[in-house]
Amino acid sequence: MTSREAAVADRPATRGPRTPAARQRRRRRSPRPMNVQFRTIISPHQLNSRWGRRIYWLVLAAVIVTFSLAFVFPLYWMVSGAMKTPEEVAQMPPTLVPAQPTLDPFFEAWDLFDIGTLLANTVYYSLGAWLFCMCVDVAAAYALSKLRPAFGNVILGAMLATLMVPPMVILIPLYVTIVDLGLLNNPWGLWFPAAANGFNIFLLKRFFDSIPRELIEAAQIDGAGPLRVLWSVVLPVSRPILGVVSIFTIVTAFKDFVLPLLVMTDSEKMTISVGLSQTAGAVTQNQVMGGLVIASIPMIIVFFIFQRHIMAGLTAGSIKG
Amino acid sequence: MGVLRRNLTAYGFLCAALFCFTVFAWYPMVREFILSFQKTDLINSPEWVGLANFRGAVQDPAFWEAWLNTVEFTFLALLCGYAVPFVVALVLNELRHARAYLRFVVYLPVMLPPIVAVLLFRWFYDPGPGLFNQILDVFGVPPLAWLDSSSTALISLVLVATWMNMGSATLIYLAALQNIPPELYEAAELDGAGVFRRIRHVTIPQTRLILLLMLMLQIVATMQVFIEPYMLTGGGPENATVTVAYLMYQFAFSQMNYGQAGALGMMLMLVLLVFAAFQLRSTREDAA
């Protein structure tokens, strides 16, 4: 069994029994050997020794507490801050729980920041970027992988070379180009640069490369042209990678700050990140927090739903590449 | 299908991507080069000025400070953002419980728009009712000025950057650790290697390639830090947090001197390319 299979097999067991009754039963049976199919630095033997066990539970508790404090508590502070009155937010020492929780700051933030417009803009730009990106990058990766034109490798190399150049470095000339083309305050000013994504093409091409040739040849014998092969053979079997690329494209577009800051300057056309950054100085702290909470919700929902894809995608490019 | 026809179809599929890359990725690199030798404010037609932009950039009072800050920021960010995720991943990999929760939680800040993290921390850093000083107060530590003092401002920025970015590095390391064959640990144990020697002689060599790759990615990512100084300090206090990327933004959009910004961008690009080349060589040697 490879370590990864072992990790998968190990997963249900690590969750542990869920019901209180089962938990009690387990406690009575202790010390039951810990599930150690998945060998790591510490050996199963060490882990199950008397001290190994004690240290393990201690470390586990410490890690859970530290992580919760470091990553969950700030978010709790943000949400609870948004439910306090302006006086309570400024109070020293601060209250852990809002004395009189109120949802008003959320509504105030919604109006003051004009979050309805900002959010609609951001969603529109993100979905547009996704749609355009997918059309352009899938077609390009398909051509490079399966149609293999002359100079294909040169083109792929040049596309991958753009990954070496950090976005911040070409920000100014990119902005100047966008101005020259008259794309200021035009969503295409964000969508075109988003589609020029070498990493997407790399991921897609590598996946398309792994599709067996027989599958495509069978379709060709049935008389399918290149577009038909792409649509009916390549895309259906590429669902996993399409999911990964889609999510990353949408999340990146939603989170993007610098380019929208420069390109979408009309207050009617700003993204939520830029809008919040522009108005944050002019409103009270609890309203800022209200705005931040609202801005975070879409991404947190996306994370809840697509957690698996996101985690898979994180390692897709880096491990084997 | 004829060769010509196949090529035509292929380029048909490629043309949209070629357009996007040409205009919005390849051309801007060339444009940066041109820009750096021109004086332009995007209103009047540009004129050639030779090396004046480079001279202007170097002579800017914040120029050396910006480089120094960027290097310092990168160094501190690597200390926090490179070593910490690896250690965290090592520990997480040993745990048999709550794995899903811990992985979810560590990646949560990465999902948030950066502006959320930055504005949230701006509030935490508030010298008065800000969370951090209040926590210090509980332990009887005198309050810090955080962003308002030139001695703590930069490290405060590093803290935000680490908080919001460390999740992805942690999960990438975690995946790399899970790919290490368990037999290696067993063999090391039979040879009498303790926990630390197992880490040194098994874990680190086995994850060497990914460690090197991440090192370069992080250097490149932190060298272009912008949103933190832009939102939190505006480069202050006393230029203590002006980074190269921020200075570039200043040249372009405060001084309307796009040529000078382009010149600074060229310098940054050269430095990063040297890093990339260095990196490429070391990974190649490693693979050989």
> What pLDDT was estimated at residue A36?
57
- The pLDDT value given to residue A316: 65
Minimum distance, in Å, between the CA of residue A182 and any CA atom of chain B: 12
Query: Helical H runs in chain B?
Result: 3-21, 27-35, 52-59, 63-78, 84-94, 99-111, 114-124, 131-138, 153-178, 182-190, 195-198, 204-206, 208-223, 227-228, 244-253, 258-287
The rounded distance, in Å, linking the Cα atoms of B275 and B260 is 23
Where does the pLDDT of residue A77 fall: very low under 50, low under 70, confident under 90, or very high at 90 and above?
very high
Say what the pLDDT of residue B95 is.
86
CA pair distance B226, B234, nearest whole angstrom: 10
**Using 50, 70 and 90 to split pLDDT, how confident is the model at A13?**
very low
Kindly report, residue by residue over B170-189, the tens digit of the pLDDT.
998 988 888 888 888 888 88
Mean pLDDT for the stretch of residues B236-256: 88
Task: Tell me what pLDDT residue A30 has.
Answer: 52
**Res A6 pLDDT > 70:** no
The pLDDT of residue B13 is 92
pLDDT of residue A66: 93
Residue A315 has its nearest CB partner, among B14, B129, B175, at B175
The neighbour count for residue A226, using CB atoms within 10 Å, is 21
- How many CB atoms lie under 10 A from the CB of residue A116? 11
- Judged against a pLDDT cut of 90, whether residue B211 lies above it is answered with no
- Residue B185 token pair: 């640990």
Domain extent listing, chain A: 1-48, 113-282
Percentage of residues in chain B with pLDDT exceeding 70? 98
Please give the torsion angle defined by the CA atoms of residues B181, B186, B189 and B195, in that order, rounded to the nearest 10 degrees: 40
pLDDT of residue A52: 82
A292 close to B (CB below 8 A): yes
- DSSP character string of A46-106: HHHSHHHHHHHHHHHHHHHHHHIIIIIHHHHHHHHHTTS-HHHHH-SSPPSS-SS--SHHH
* pLDDT value of position B286: 60
Question: Mean of the pLDDT values across residues B241-266?
Answer: 90
pLDDT tier, A317 (very low <50, low <70, confident <90, very high otherwise): low
- Interface touch A3/B180, C-beta < 8 Å: yes
Determine whether the interchain pair B10/A78 forms a contact, defined as Cβ–Cβ distance below 8 Å.
no
Assess contact for B94 and B174: CB atoms under 8 A: no
pLDDT band for A178, please (50, 70, 90 cuts).
Answer: very high
Per-residue pLDDT, averaged over B262-288, amounts to 79
Give the count of alpha carbons within 13 A of A178, CB side only.
26
Task: Look at chain A and count its residues.
Answer: 321
Q: Would you call B226 and A39 a contact, using CB atoms and an 8 Å cutoff?
A: no
Candidates B99, B105, B261; nearest CB to A172:
B261
In angstroms, the CA A78 to CA A72 distance is 10
Looking at per-residue pLDDT, the higher value among A321 and B7 belongs to B7
Confidence of residue A31 (pLDDT cuts 50, 70, 90): low
Instruction: Determine, for residues B265 and A35 on separate chains, whether the beta-carbon distance falls below 8 Å.
Output: no
What's the pLDDT tens digit per position in A268-305?
A: 999 999 999 988 888 888 899 999 999 999 999 999 99
Give the mean pLDDT of B147-161: 88
pLDDT mean over B192-218: 85
Q: Is A3 on the interface with B (CB under 8 A)?
A: yes
The partner residue sitting opposite A149, judged by closest CB among B7, B172, B220, is: B7
Tell me, what's the pLDDT at B264? 92
Which residues in chain A are contacts of B159 at CB distance < 8 A? none
Query: Nearest residue of B to residue A7 by CA position?
Result: B178
CB contact under 8 A, B10 and A149: yes
pLDDT for residue A189: 94
Which is higher by pLDDT, A316 or B9?
Answer: B9
CA Rg, chain A, in Å? 26
Q: Which residues of A touch B213 (CB under 8 A)?
A: 318
For residues B110-125, give the mean pLDDT.
92
Average pLDDT, chain B: 87
| Separation between Cα atoms, residue B240 and residue B150, nearest integer Å | 5
CA dist., res. A23 & res. B49, Å (int): 77
- In B, minimum Cα distance to A179 occurs at B42
Write the pLDDT tens digit of every residue in A164-173.
888 888 899 9
Residues of chain A in contact with residue B21, where contact means CB-CB under 8 angstroms, are 158-159, 162, 196
Cα B1 to the center of its chain, rounded Å: 47
Tokens 């249900």 sit on residue:
A12
Burial (CB count within 10 angstroms: exposed 0-12, middle 13-18, buried 19+), residue A161: middle
Yes or no, beta carbons of A41 and B116 under 8 Å apart = no
- What whole-number percentage of chain A has pLDDT above 90? 47
Say yes or no: A77 contacts chain B, CB-CB below 8 A: yes
B241: confidence class by pLDDT, cuts 50, 70, 90:
confident
Q: For B181, which DSSP code?
A: -
- Higher per-residue pLDDT: A23 or B85: B85
φ, ψ for residue A96, nearest 5 deg: -75, -40
Kindly determine whether residue B14 and residue A299, on different chains, have CB atoms separated by under 8 Å: no
Residue A145 corresponds to which tokens in the numbers above?
A: 């992988």
Q: Note the maximum CA span of chain B.
A: 80
Q: What pLDDT does residue A156 have?
A: 93
CA distance B34 to B30: 6
- Looking at residue B78, its pLDDT comes to 86
SS3 B47: strand
- Which of A:25-44 have CB within 8 Å of B? 34-36, 38-43
As a whole number, mean pLDDT of residues B25-40 equals 90
CB contact under 8 A, A143 and B14: yes
Question: For A142, which residue in chain B has the nearest alpha carbon?
Answer: B13
Q: Per-residue pLDDT averaged across A246-257, rounded?
A: 92
- What pLDDT shows up at residue A62? 93
Q: What one-letter code names the amino acid at A260?
A: P
For B104, the closest chain A residue by CA position comes to A307
Query: pLDDT tier at A93 (50, 70, 90 boundaries)?
Result: confident
d(CA A134, CA A26): 50
Q: Please determine, for residue A2, whether its predicted confidence score (pLDDT) is greater than 50.
A: no
B50-287: which CATH topology? Answer: MetI-like fold (1.10.3720)
If you average pLDDT over residues B148-157, what whole number do you get?
A: 87
How many CB atoms sit inside 10 A of residue B85's CB?
A: 25
Task: Give pLDDT, residue A119.
Answer: 93
Partner residue facing B98 (CB), from A64, A147, A251: A64
Residue A140: Cβ-neighbour burial (10 angstroms; 0-12, 13-18, 19+): buried
Q: Which two tokens stand for residue B214?
A: 């991440």
The pair of three-digit structure tokens given for residue A107, joined into one six-digit string: 């509504």
Give the architecture-level CATH label for domain A113-282.
Orthogonal Bundle (1.10)
Confidence of residue A204 (pLDDT cuts 50, 70, 90): very high
Kindly report the nearest CA distance between residue A3 and chain B, in angstroms: 6
Q: Which of A81, A150, A174 sits opposite B7 (nearest CB)?
A: A150
Average the pLDDT over A304-314 and give the result: 84
What is the band of A37 on the pLDDT scale with cuts at 50, 70, 90? low
Closest CA to A186 of A124, A279, A256: A124
pLDDT, position A260: 94
B99 closest CB neighbour out of A14, A92, A168: A14
Q: Is A175 on the interface with B (CB under 8 A)?
A: yes
CB neighbours of B146 closer than 8 A, spacing ≥ 6?
B125, B127, B130, B132, B133, B152, B153, B156
Q: In sequence order, what are the beta bridge partners of B168?
A: none
Q: Does residue A109 have a pLDDT over 80? A: yes
CA gap B150, B236 in Å, rounded: 7
> Considering only A263-267, B115-119, B143-147, which range has the smallest mean pLDDT?
B143-147
Cα separation, A103 vs A290, in Å, equals 9
Cβ distance of A150 and B198 shorter than 8 Å = no
How high is the mean pLDDT of chain A?
84
* Dihedral, B54, B59, B64, B70 alpha carbons, nearest 10: -50
The answer to whether A135 contacts chain B (CB < 8 Å) is yes
Confirm if B265 and A169 have CB atoms less than 8 A apart: yes
Q: Please tell me whether residue B97 adopts helix, strand or coil conformation.
A: coil
Where are the alpha helices (H) located in B36-152, listed in sequence order?
A: 52-59, 63-78, 84-94, 99-111, 114-124, 131-138
Angle at B161 between CA B160 and CA B164, to 5 degrees: 85
For residue A8, what pLDDT is reported?
A: 41
Distance from CA of A25 to the nearest CA of B (A): 18
Nearest by CB: A39 against B114, B176, B186:
B186
Average pLDDT over residues A254-281: 91
